[in-house]
Every structure is written in C-alpha cells, then in structure tokens.
Amino acid sequence: MSWLLFGVLAALMCAGVPIAVALGLSGAAVIAAAKMGIMSVPVTVYAGIAKYPLIAIPVFILAGLIFERSGVAASLVRLAESLVGQRRGGLAVAAVLVCMVLGGISGSGPADSAAVGAIMIPAMTRAGYPREFTASLIAAGGSTAIIIPPSVAFIVYSILVPQASVPALFAAGLVPGVLAGGSLILASIFFSVRNDFGVRDTEARPPFWRSLKEASWALLAPVIILGGMRSGMFTPTEAAVVAVAYGLLVGAFAYRSLGWKEIWKLFEEAAEISAVILLLVGLAALFGWAVDTVGVFNEFAKWLTAKDTGETAVLLAITFMLLVAGTALDAVATYFIFLPFLLPVAAAYGWDPVWLGVIVTLNVAIGQFTPPTAVNLMITARLAGVTMESTTVWVLWFVGAMTAVLLLITFVPEIVLFLPRWLGYL
C-alpha cells in the first residue's frame, strides 16, 4: 500500500502535476485499492477545508496584500535606508530588514520576495550590486516570512498538531526568524565590504524622523496583530481581520493610495492566492487520511526509535531529508507528507511539538530559495532579468548562513522555546 501511495505521488509530482492534485489522487488511489470506502473522498476534502481556524489564512493574505499595495512597502524601504545610510552593503541590509517586516504582515514567502524585489532590485542595481547577488539576497530574505509571525504555514501546522497552539508557534517563530534574517545581514555585509558593493549609492539619505513617521503606520501593524493576540483580545483569525480593517483605513485615509476599485482588486487577488493554499490543504487531507488508515509510518518510526539510533543522528537525518524535500515542496505539503512520520518519532524522543514546527518550517524556508526548484528565487531572478543558474554562486552562501541558524536552533531548542514559555503559551 505504501508503495502505491508514494509511487503515485512521486510519479505525478515529477510529471509536473500540481502538488495538491498529486497528493489527492495518490490518497484516493490508496483509499480505493484498500476498499476503505470511497465516499470518504468528498467527505474528507470538504471537512479538510471547512475548519474555522483556516479562516485566518485568507484574511492574513488579504492583510499582507493591502499593506504591500498601499505604499507601505515603499515607506519601509525609505525608513530602512535612512537607518543604514549609504555605505557598502547599506542597501543590502535595508532589503533584508524590509523583507522581515513585510513578512511579518503577510506571512507568505513568494509574495514577500516579489514585493521587495520590485522595489529593491532596480535601486540596488543602480548602486552597483550585481543583479545575481540582489536576486539571491531578496529570495533568501523573503523566505523568512513563513517563520516570522504571523505565518500562514504555522496556522496549518497548528491544525495538524493541536498540542501546538497558534500563539505559541507565532511566539516561537520570532527569535529564529530574526536570527535567520540576521545571518543573511551578516553574510551580505561580508560580501559587500569584500567586493565594494554599494559604493556607487548616490541617492540622498532620507531624513530619519520623517521616514519613521511615514513608516509608523506599517510598523504598528505587527504590534496590533501580535499584541492583540498576546493580550487575549483576539483569536488569530480575529487578529487577521482587525489587521485588514486597519490596513484598509491606513490605505484609504493615511496614505490615500487605495480607492474602491483597487480594494476590490485586492480582494480578488487574495481570493486566488488563498484558494491555491486551501485546495492544497483540502486535497492533502486525503493523503493524510490514507496515511493514517494504512499506518505506513508508525512501523517505520517504531523501527527507527527501537534501533537505539542516537538522537543527534536522527535529527541530522531528518534535517537533511527536509532540506531536500523543501526544495520541491511548500510548507503545507511538507507538513502533510512528513508529519505523520515525524510526530511518532518526536513523541519517542520527547521533542516539543512547537519546536518541531519551527524546525520543519525553517527547513522549508531554506528550500524556498535553494536551487534548482526554488519558488522565491524563480520570482526574484525573473524580476532581475538573470537566469536562476547564474545566481548559484551567491545563493549557496545564503543557504549556508541560514542552515547554520537551523542547526543552532535544532541543537539548542531553548532558543526557540524560551519566548513562548515566558509568555505563558507552553
């Protein structure tokens, strides 16, 4: 049965069939072959999507789009520029900072890369950064979006692993997200100083206080979202809808950049982006149902833990496996395919489910900009007008930097867990 499940999945995925459909069909094939009741196909898909916590996903995506399009991204770039100034590597540092803050509103890596790339790639090219370097850096920076709260990926993880609550995951993602961004900043400063990137930066440094005032509307958004959840005023879904209302008010009245027509377009676009993720969640539920019923992974996990394999070796093996998978899959698909196997292993070793979620998600984040199948890099390379192959020399350094952070939090779980514990979520 497990051969049928993974054979069909791998064959369909390699043929370029959308991952959602590949997961759904392989699940349905097993359900049919095992005569487990074919009527569970529509029931599982319907019930997989019709879940109240999932409502946070389209609403956070909408909030992110509203902030991105209402001129907030540009105001953040000006603030970051005024902070770091014109020096070697200045714009590179600014780009990573903007990726981190914007990711803290929308929670979607490719959207983040596209928004920041559209503004920063022309500016950085004028200042003398090679296009390949810029494309690599922004693809890497955008990937921090799924770790820095609010993260769409963590909402799905929490549905699959109910012991890990959304507020706990959001709190747990904050420090690793900042560390990941920090490692990119260090790497970019190193290369900029060594290669004199950004010495041609001639654009006037924007005045700090005015930039701060303009960007303050944007900087308040994560405070409202996370603060509202922390104080218990809102559930994650409600925090998302409050962020939408706040973004619409800021866009319409503070920046005066959004009219009715633009707002409706944003609703259309948010619906399309969310539908892709939600369809994946629904069809992956079929795959999950098949895995649970056939019980493929329990045996494997039992075998693995019974063999007295050292915890370190298991952790390294899992990290390697997820890094490889992360280059081809997105966060949601990775959860559905690997969690049935990882959760029994985690239980056997007594790993914290919140920490496990952060580890798996950071793995996927690195995969998002690791060639050859990186989604973020595909977008930024296209924006910069370079081939993805030509970015390899730079992007591998950023992959290395973020992998160092990954190994750090893998072997020192307290870095992830102290914040949610201090806030009382664990």
Partner 1 sequence: MRETEYSQGPPPTLPPRARFRAERFLGAAAMAAICVITLGNVLARYFTDISFAFTEEVSVFLLVFLTFVGSAKAFLDGNQIAMEYLLLKLPWRWRRRGYLFSLAMCALMLGLLAWFGARMAWDDYDMEVTSPGLGWPQWIYTVWLPVLSLAVMARLVQGFVFIFKTKTP
* 414 contact partners, CB below 8 Å, separation of at least 6: none
Nearer to partner 1, 28 or 343 (CB): 28
3-state helix, strand, coil in the chain (%, to 5): 80, 0, 20
> What DSSP designation does 204 have?
P
The CA R_g of the chain, rounded to the nearest whole Å, is: 21
Nearer to partner 1, 81 or 330 (CB): 330
Nearer to partner 1, 57 or 185 (CB): 57
Return the amino acid letter for 124: M
DSSP states along 58-93: HHHHHHHHHHIIIIIHHHHHHHHHHHH-SSTTHHHH
Nearer to partner 1, 197 or 369 (CB): 369
Nearer to partner 1, 66 or 172 (CB): 66
Query: What is the maximal distance between C-alpha atoms in the chain?
Result: 69
> What DSSP designation does 250 have?
I
Task: Quote the CA–CA distance of 351 and 340 in Å, as a whole number.
Answer: 15
Return the beta strands (E) in 66-171 as ranges.
Answer: none
Nearer to partner 1, 46 or 190 (CB): 46
Nearer to partner 1, 312 or 387 (CB): 387
Return the beta strands (E) in 48-198 as ranges.
Answer: none
Q: How far is the CB of 382 from partner 1 (least distance, A)?
A: 5
Nearer to partner 1, 83 or 321 (CB): 321
Ramachandran class of 94: left when φ > 0, alpha when ψ lies in -120 to 50, beta otherwise:
alpha
Q: How far is the CB of 228 from partner 1 (least distance, A)?
A: 10
Q: Token pair for residue 354?
A: 């919140």
Q: How far is the CB of 243 from partner 1 (least distance, A)?
A: 11
Contact, 349 vs 314, CB < 8 A?
A: yes
Three-state secondary structure call for residue 184: helix
Q: Contact residues for partner 1 (CB under 8 A)?
A: 12-22, 24-25, 28, 38-39, 41-43, 45-46, 49-52, 54-55, 58-59, 62, 110-111, 114, 118, 234, 237-238, 241-242, 244-245, 264, 267-268, 270-276, 278-280, 282-283, 328, 330, 333, 372-373, 375, 378-379, 382-383
Tell me: cis bond preceding 167? Omega within 30 of 0 counts.
Answer: no
